[in-house]
Amino acid sequence: ETGVTQSPTHLIKTRGQQVTLRCSSQSGHNTVSWYQQALGQGPQFIFQYYREEENGRGNFPPRFSGLQFPNYSSELNVNALELDDSALYLCASSLGPGANTEAFFGQGTRLTVV
């Protein structure tokens, strides 16, 4: 059974650029959630994808967008990067969309915007 993997592990981008982060969900999981963890904070929900459709969104602007593919892997895209987007981005996969379903997290992608 493969776990949740994210790529890349670290990334440095310039303000105004665009970035794509990738997540491979755990085998058998059809739901992927993305979280942003700023320094000294807890993870904040960005959005969730269930069977290739967005299934809920947190308080993040539209320049944060995502995709889920038929194999349930997922991408997080951020346009027009701002310095405050610097954070650890976590992907979590689960067997279903309900939050009462155990979520398995990847190791995260550390994004630095300069």
Partner 1 sequence: DQQVKQNSPSLSVQEGRISILNCDYTNSMFDYFLWYKKYPAEGPTFLISISSIKDKNEDGRFTVFLNKSAKHLSLHIVPSQPGDSAVYFCAASDGGNQFYFGTGTSLTVIP
Contacting residue, 13, 20, 58, 69, with partner 1 by CB under 8 A: 58
Specify which residues 24 forms β-bridges with: 5
C-alpha distances (whole Å) from 64 to each of 29, 34, 102 are 23, 10, 25
Q: Does 113 bind partner 1 (CB under 8 A)?
A: no
Measured from the CB atom, the residue of 14 and 102 that comes closer to partner 1 is 102
Please name the residues in contact with 13: beta carbons below 8 A apart, sequence gap of 6 or more.
19, 81, 111, 112, 113, 114
Residue type (1 letter), 33: S
- 108: contact with partner 1 by CB under 8 A: yes
- According to the binding rule CB under 8 A, does residue 99 interact with partner 1? yes
What are the tokens at 114?
A: 């300069």
| 33: contact with partner 1 by CB under 8 A | yes
Among 19, 21, 78, 103, binds partner 1 (CB under 8 A): 103
| 56 binds partner 1 per the rule CB under 8 A | yes
